[in-house]
């Protein structure tokens, strides 16, 4: 009985890993950095996490969880509530639809897939933010944010790949 309880607890912890790690990246991305105008170009680390789990373990991160993560990103970043929720949902959905193509491919293909889909999500983010503010926002900040996020992808993805190999093989 006791062993069964701990086995269930272990399985629950493993199943909550994608949500927990993505939430941790959202919080990490909000930490204050003493770089002028950093907030406007800070990488969206949660996008890397969403991409990884959409490709390798979408059953561990349902769309409801992606929506909640988007709302958390909105609330912590000061973005209009629903902005990142919508962008995260469309981004995640697009990756899930392409996962058969992306899963098991070489790392450059995996990275290129992220770069393409996240670029489209960045455009969506810019359009929605511009519509919310009823003016065309400066695209340079969005593009720089995209480049920083895509540039950090190999490091964060490597950590996720190792994490998945170490902790989620049984899940």
In a domain, 12, yes or no: no
32-87 residue pLDDT tens: 878 777 766 789 999 999 999 999 989 999 999 999 999 999 999 999 999 999 99
CA distance linking residue 8 with residue 4, whole number of Å: 6
In a domain, 104, yes or no: yes
Where residue 78 sits, what CATH number does that domain have? 1.10.1760
In a domain, 121, yes or no: yes
In a domain, 140, yes or no: yes
For 148-168, the DSSP string reads HHHHHHHHHHHHHHHHHHHHS
Q: How many domains does the chain have?
A: 1
Contacts of 161 (CB under 8 A, 6+ apart): 52
In a domain, 124, yes or no: yes
pTM for this predicted structure: 0.91
CA distance linking residue 52 with residue 46, whole number of Å: 10
In a domain, 11, yes or no: no
Q: Which domain holds residue 72?
A: 17-27+41-167
């Amino acid at each position: 009985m006791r062993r069964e309880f701990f086995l269930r607890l272990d399985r629950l912890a493993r199943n909550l890993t994608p949500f927990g790690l993505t939430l941790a990246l959202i919080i990490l991305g909000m930490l204050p950095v003493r770089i002028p105008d950093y907030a406007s170009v800070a990488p969206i680390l949660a996008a890397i996490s969403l991409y990884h789990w959409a490709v390798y373990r979408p059953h561990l991160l349902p769309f409801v969880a992606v929506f909640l993560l988007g709302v958390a990103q909105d609330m912590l970043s000061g973005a209009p509530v629903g902005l990142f929720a919508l962008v995260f949902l469309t981004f995640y959905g697009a990756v899930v639809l392409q996962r058969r193509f992306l899963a098991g491919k070489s790392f450059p293909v995996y990275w290129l897939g992220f770069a393409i889909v996240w670029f489209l999500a960045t455009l969506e983010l810019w359009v929605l933010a511009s519509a919310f503010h009823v003016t065309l926002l400066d695209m340079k900040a969005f593009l720089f944010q995209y480049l920083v996020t895509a540039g950090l992808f190999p490091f964060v993805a490597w950590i996720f790949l190792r994490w998945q190999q170490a902790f989620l093989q049984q899940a």
